[in-house]
Amino acid sequence: MPQTIIAANWKMHGSQGMTAELLEGVKNAAVDAGGREAKTIFCPPYPYIAQVYATVRDWPFIGLGAQDCHIEDRGAFTGDVSAGMLKDLGCGYVILGHSERRKHYHETDGIIKGKVEAALRNGLLPILCVGETLAEREEGKAQSVVENQLLGGLPDAGLPNPLIVAYEPVWAIGTGKTPSLEDIDEMHHFIAKVLETKKSIERNRLAVLYGGSVKAAKAAELFSLESVNGVLVGGASLEAAEFSAIIKAAAER
Question: d(Cα 58, Cα 49) in Å, to the nearest integer?
Answer: 15
Q: Indicate which residue of 98, 107, 132, 188 is catalytic.
A: 98
Comparing CB distances to ligand PGA, the nearer of 117 and 239 is: 239
Closest CB to ligand PGA among residues 133, 196: 133
d(CA 127, CA 67) in angstroms, rounded, equals 9
Binding positions for ligand PGA, 233-252, rule CB under 6 A: 233-236
Q: At what angle do helices 240-251 and 216-223 cross, to 10 degrees?
A: 20
Residue among 211, 223, 246, 248 that touches ligand PGA (CB under 6 A): 211
Spatial distance between the Cα atoms of 49 and 200, rounded to a whole number of angstroms: 34
Q: What are phi and psi of 123, to 5 degrees?
A: 80, 25
Q: Please state the separation of Cα 210 from the chain's center in Å.
A: 8
Query: Does 9 participate in binding ligand PGA (rule CB under 6 A)?
Result: yes
Closest approach, Cβ 233 to ligand PGA, in A, equals: 5
213 is a contact residue toward ligand PGA (CB under 6 A): yes
Q: How far is CA 113 from the centre of its chain?
A: 16
In the complex with ligand PGA, the residue whose CB is nearer, 100 or 136, is 100
Q: Are 8 and 233 in contact (CB under 8 A)?
A: yes
Closest of 233, 223, 242 to residue 4, by C-alpha = 223
Is residue 188 among the annotated active site residues?
no
Active site residue 98: yes
- 107, 136, 168, 242: the catalytic one is 168
Of the residues 232, 246, 250, 251, which one makes contact with ligand PGA according to CB under 6 A:
232
- Catalogue the active-site residues: 98, 168
Return residues touching ligand PGA (CB under 6 A).
Answer: 9, 168, 173-174, 211-214, 232-236
